[in-house]
Structures are given as structure tokens and as C-alpha cells.
Amino acid sequence: MPRLPLLVAAVRKEAADVVAIDLAHPAGRPLPPAAPGSHVRVRVGEGPMRQYSLVNGPDDAAAYRIAVKLEPASRGGSAAMHRLAAGDTVLASLPVDGFPVDWTTGPLLLLAGGIGVTPLLGMARHAQARGHPFALHYFARSAGSAAFAGTLRSAEFAGRATCHFGLDADAVPGRLAAILAAEGGRGTHAYVCGPAPFMDAARAAGERALGAEALHFEYFSAGETDGGADRALTVRLGLSGGTLAVPAGRSILSVLLENGVEVDCSCLEGVCGMCVTEVLAGEPDHRDHFLSDHARAAGDVMTVCVSRARGPELTLAL
């Protein structure tokens, strides 16, 4: 994928632990357009490539606009992004249309949990510009932790965006169910992004109210991936030969890279699919949010950044 150096044009504090960052062409040229729901992959220095959803509306080619939440367990990605200042340079991919919108359906119901608001804000802006009916519901622990709360409460989204801040966690599934139930029978499609419990609650209620085919999800973090009880395992390199020991608590990917085995990667969280690798023998223990149920069941590919093995050994096509 082409990568381009982009200039940090602006950094703004958007919430207690969230900064909004505008990335512009170094020569001030317009940037290639991005579909709603797109993300860009960004690298700071020698750190990992991480993906961030764009909040851009259409006709906004002056910058790719992202927001980054500081993760307490950051392995360098979000912390490095929070240290950026105007004038710095990062390496970025072109936009990837990872969470596409189907404009042939009825209204869009956009359900955002926390920093999951970013792709949905972009979708809301595109829907607004096209005159496509939509409603956005934004759940956050508090107003202070809610990025873009001011934007969503502005005249631009009057009557279209509803904030649900400060709800008890136990109350969120019921509120989601009520919102989804009210949309039944209108051809509504729901787009959901948020932490795993939020996604699970939206999926359960959405399947009842709208049907599974009308639900679209984007997992923004695999911090919720089942960590399970990691066991040490042996990885055999089926093409190049060699055997690697993967200790408990280390990812297969990190051991591969450490031993000079080249594997493309980006998110390191089982979300982007860049590290998908063919499995020649052994049974993967899938812990990603990328592969389809069909691909998981087949068991012939796996994301080596987060997934492990059900048995003591795997042979990969590397």
C-alpha cells in the first residue's frame, strides 16, 4: 500500500484523554478523497502502524482528520500520537474503505460507544451532505470523556444526534434495545462502533429488531479480544524451514519479526487483517475481529498478531 509523509497541521484536545489530529499534505495540496467509514494507517517514527478512522465529511480534502484516545496500556502507538505537535511529520497510508456504507437502504442508525464515534461522525457528515436520513446515538461515560460532543450538539446535527452520557453500564443494553426496536420496519441499517460489551449488546438487540443483514460493525480495538490462558507454542515455518518457540504472553507476530521473518502488519490488534497468514498444519485459536466465521471455521488462515493455537504446534506458510 502506498505510504505518504503527512504534516501534522493541528492537534486539539477533544476530551480528557482524546486528541484530534489533522494530517495535511506537506505542500498544502488536496488529499485523495475518502469514503465514509474509511481509516488511515499512521506511523510515528519507528513505532507500529496503527489505524484511525476519519471524521471527514465529503469535500473536505484539506486534511485527514482523526482522533486518538490515549490507551493506558499503550505499546507506544497512542502515546506517541499524543506527543505529536503541529509541524511534525508522520507516515500514513491512503484511506482504506474498511467500514463501507450501503446507501441503497433506508435510514442509517449510527450507534457509537466512546471513541467509536469517529467513523460514525464521518458517516453522519456524508449522510447529511447526501440528504440520506440518519440518526446518531452517542454513548460515553461522561461528557468530559466524550470526543466531539460539542460538534454533535451543534446546529449542524440538531435533531439528528442524541448523547447518552453517564449511563450505568447495566443500563446501556436496555437503552440500545429501545433505540433499535423503534427502528423496526423502516429499512433501517445500523452501523455500530464501540467497545466489545457495547457491540455485543447492539448485536443482540439489533438482530431482534432489524435482522443480522442490517447490522454493520467496526471493532476499533482488540483490547477486548479474549486473552484466554496463553500457552507457549511451537511455530514451524513450513516454507523456509525452522522452528520458533513462542512463549506464553508473547504474540506469534512479535516472535516472527524478532527472528527476521517478514510479515506485513499494521494494527497489531486483530482488526486490520494485514498479518493474515496461511496455516499449513495445526488448529488456530482465533482471537481477532477480522476473519469471517467461514474463514475461522476453515482454519487455513489466521491473524498472527493476536491469535494462537489450540494445540501445542502450528505450521505456517512462511
Footprint of ligand FES (CB under 6 A): 265-268, 270-275, 288, 290, 303, 305
Quick count: other Cβ atoms within 10 Å of Cβ 211? 11
Instruction: Name the residue nearer to ligand FES (CB basis): 109 or 304.
Output: 304
Q: How far is the CB of 69 from ligand FES (least distance, A)?
A: 18
Q: How far is the CB of 120 from ligand FES (least distance, A)?
A: 21
Q: How far is the CB of 269 from ligand FES (least distance, A)?
A: 6
Nearest-5° Cα angle at 288, 222 to 165: 30
Cβ atoms 108, 127 nearer than 8 A:
yes
Q: How far apart are CA 20 and CA 18, in angstroms?
A: 7
Quick count: other Cβ atoms within 10 Å of Cβ 140? 24
Q: Alpha carbon of 318 to those of 57, 68, 238, 276: distances in Å?
A: 41, 34, 6, 11
Instruction: Name the residue nearer to ligand FES (CB basis): 1 or 16.
Output: 1
Q: How far apart are CA 172 and CA 162, in angstroms?
A: 14
Instruction: Name the residue nearer to ligand FES (CB basis): 84 or 268.
Output: 268
Instruction: Name the residue nearer to ligand FES (CB basis): 176 or 271.
Output: 271
Instruction: Name the residue nearer to ligand FES (CB basis): 87 or 260.
Output: 260
- All three cell numbers of 274, joined, read 494485514
**Residue holding cell 423503534?**
182
Q: How far is the CB of 173 from ligand FES (least distance, A)?
A: 28
Q: How far is the CB of 249 from ligand FES (least distance, A)?
A: 17
